Amino acid sequence: MKRTKIIDILRSQDYGQSVCVKGWVRTRRGSKAVNFIALNDGSTIKNVQIVADVEKFDADLLRLVTTGACLSVEGTLVQSQGVGQSSEIQATKIEVLGTCDAEYPMQKKGQTFEFMRQHAHLRLRTNTFGAVMRIRHNMAIAIHQYFHEHGFVYFHTPIITASDCEGAGEMFQVTTKNLYDLKKDEEGHIDYSDDFFGKMTSLTVSGQLEGELGATALGAIYTFGPTFRAENSNTPRHLAEFWMIEPEVAFNDINDNMDLAEDFIKHCVRWALDNCQDDLEFLNKMIDPTLIERLNFVLENDFVRLKYTDGIKILEEAVKGGHKFEFPVSWGMDLASEHERFLVEQHFKCPVILTDYPKEIKAFYMKQNDDGKTVRAMDVLFPQIGEIIGGSEREENYDKLLQRIKEMDIPMKDMWWYLDTRRFGTCPHSGFGLGFERLILFVTGMQNIRDVIPFPRTPKTAEF
Ligand code: 4AD
Ligand code: MG
């Protein structure tokens, strides 16, 4: 008999129909006369209830129906007598496809997230991780749909690269060299000429530089791929391997860039509210009671747009008024998460786009303002998250860009192709990067970035 997904069973009202469902047992309870089995197949957060009359089934078979076991069940779809579900299945045939031994780590309710991280291979079978993964999928679809409908080309940038886009030196090297037998020159530098690519290569920290090549030919592109950062940040917001979405648009200035970022992120939030109701309601109940309210708030309100210099003034006022930050506030500093969250959560109570940062704390490619001190950077700061998007208008002037590359000691030999865009028909252009997992954090209300990606990569962790 053909299997029906549980999501479709629960929507169906074809009572009396014979059906087959397959899935994993969440719970079994019952009396001497009748067993109730809650079965889940991942198609929805909701379980279907299987009603099994004990006399109709072999006692040895029912004993194998334990939490975590995998079943195939045939039966009749009936209207439920119980509260909380509309349809259930009166079982006629139960087959145990996979028994589950008593050590199954996911059987107890209320396990800590830390415990579940250690069992990331099985945590996907819990309600919370099912909900998070379905929302993650939906966000990926929403992103592709948004850009496709707005005429952007999905552009694939390389994962192995010889340039450090952000210039922060936080790259994982890629090599086929024998690390036990490294050749070095007189100065102690490793000779990469006989390495696979004939030069030093790494995993990319961002697809932006190649994305700019795409945008200055195709008009508007976006990337959506894995990026890697070897920064030793053990925080609930950082991963060593994360996914990033990077739109890049020719002829957009910083204001167009802000409009795009705001419209795009609202589209994603709206998509979640429209397409992930059951999962959001579950998370709202179990994880964060303000989640749905916060999503609606972001949708309905304009983001505050503020210059860095004015942001610093607000933070300095707060310090004068007695607010204590861990890190001191002064013009020129990079904002810490506590500063970002103060502006968003306490001062404006609204998402904030902060622009025009000091050039010293931003990447070489950002367009320089006439003041000689700031660049046309923009960070989108979100409640609970802090920085969710980082972007800028790009420096399109060849001489200014070259000067900045020299000032910042960026190896020129790796940059010739990037500079060529400014020699051959340069144009104003802008773009940004959205951290996919930070978006998922926001949309799910989860607290730790390790819990919104199936198999997180962080310092000292590469299990599974
Ligand atoms: O601000 P970042 O470093 O900007 C760039 O990489 C630019 N090249 C983007 C562009 O203009 N095309 O990173 C962009 C976003 C951050 O705002 C954050 O959401 C996310 O990527 N991000 C991380 N997410 C998880 N773990 C990390 N270690 C992250 N580092 C950045
Ligand atoms: Mg940033």
DSSP designation for 105: T
- Angle (CA) 274-271-387 rounded to 5° is 135
Q: pLDDT at position 183, please? A: 85
Q: Is 273 exposed, middle or buried (0-12, 13-18, 19+ CB in 10 A)?
A: middle
Q: pLDDT at position 443, please? A: 98
Closest-CA residue, ligand 1 atom 23, reads: 435
Contact (Cβ atoms closer than 8 angstroms) between residue 438 and residue 414: no
How many CB atoms neighbour CB 12 within 10 A?
Answer: 14
Q: What are phi and psi of 313, to 5 degrees?
A: -60, -45
Measured CA to CA, the distance from residue 416 to residue 463 in angstroms comes to 39
Angstrom distances, CA of residue 381 to CA of 179, 337, 387, 390, 412: 42, 9, 4, 9, 33
Q: Is 355 helix (H, G, I), strand (E, B) or coil?
A: strand
Quick one: which of 112, 77, 70, 81 has its CA closest to 91?
77
Question: Which ranges of 321-386 would DSSP assign to H, the alpha helix?
Answer: 337-341
- Angle (CA) 311-317-320 rounded to 5° is 145
Q: Determine the distance separating the centroid of ligand 2 and the alpha carbon of 389, expressed in angstroms.
A: 7
Q: What are phi and psi of 118, to 5 degrees?
A: -70, -15
Query: Measured from the CA of 392, which atom of ligand 1 is nearest?
Result: 11
Q: With a 6 A CB cut-off, is 387 part of the ligand 1 pocket?
A: yes
Q: Which residues of the chain have pLDDT under 50?
A: none
Amino acid code (one letter) for 187 = E
Measured CA to CA, the distance from residue 418 to residue 453 in angstroms comes to 32
Q: With a 6 A CB cut-off, is 210 part of the ligand 1 pocket?
A: no
Q: pLDDT at position 233, please? A: 86
The 10s digit of each residue's pLDDT in 186-219 is 899 999 999 999 999 999 999 999 999 999 999 9
Q: With a 6 A CB cut-off, is 431 part of the ligand 1 pocket?
A: yes
Q: With a 6 A CB cut-off, is 343 part of the ligand 1 pocket?
A: no
Q: What is the DSSP string of 296-316?
A: HHHHHSPPEEEEHHHHHHHHH
Query: Measured from the CA of 246, which atom of ligand 1 is nearest?
Result: 12
The 10s digit of each residue's pLDDT in 154-192 is 999 999 999 988 888 899 999 999 999 898 888 999 999
Q: Determine the distance separating the centroid of ligand 2 and the alpha carbon of 245, expressed in angstroms.
A: 13
Q: With a 6 A CB cut-off, is 393 part of the ligand 1 pocket?
A: no
- For residue 328, the surrounding DSSP H or E stretch is none
Look up residue 209 and give its two tokens.
């530089």
Measured CA to CA, the distance from residue 6 to residue 240 in angstroms comes to 36
Contacts (Cβ under 8 Å, ≥6 apart) of 409: none
Measured CA to CA, the distance from residue 454 to residue 42 in angstroms comes to 15
Neighbour order of strands in the sheet with 160-161: 160-161, 201-203, 173-174
| Beta strands 304-307 and 241-250, pairing class | unpaired
Angstrom distances, CA of residue 133 to CA of 103, 124, 161, 325: 25, 8, 30, 35
Q: Which residues surround ligand 2, an ion (CB under 5 A)?
A: 390
Measured CA to CA, the distance from residue 239 to residue 243 in angstroms comes to 9
Q: What angle do helix axes 416-423 and 398-407 make, rounded to 10 degrees?
A: 160
Contacts (Cβ under 8 Å, ≥6 apart) of 168: 205, 229, 231
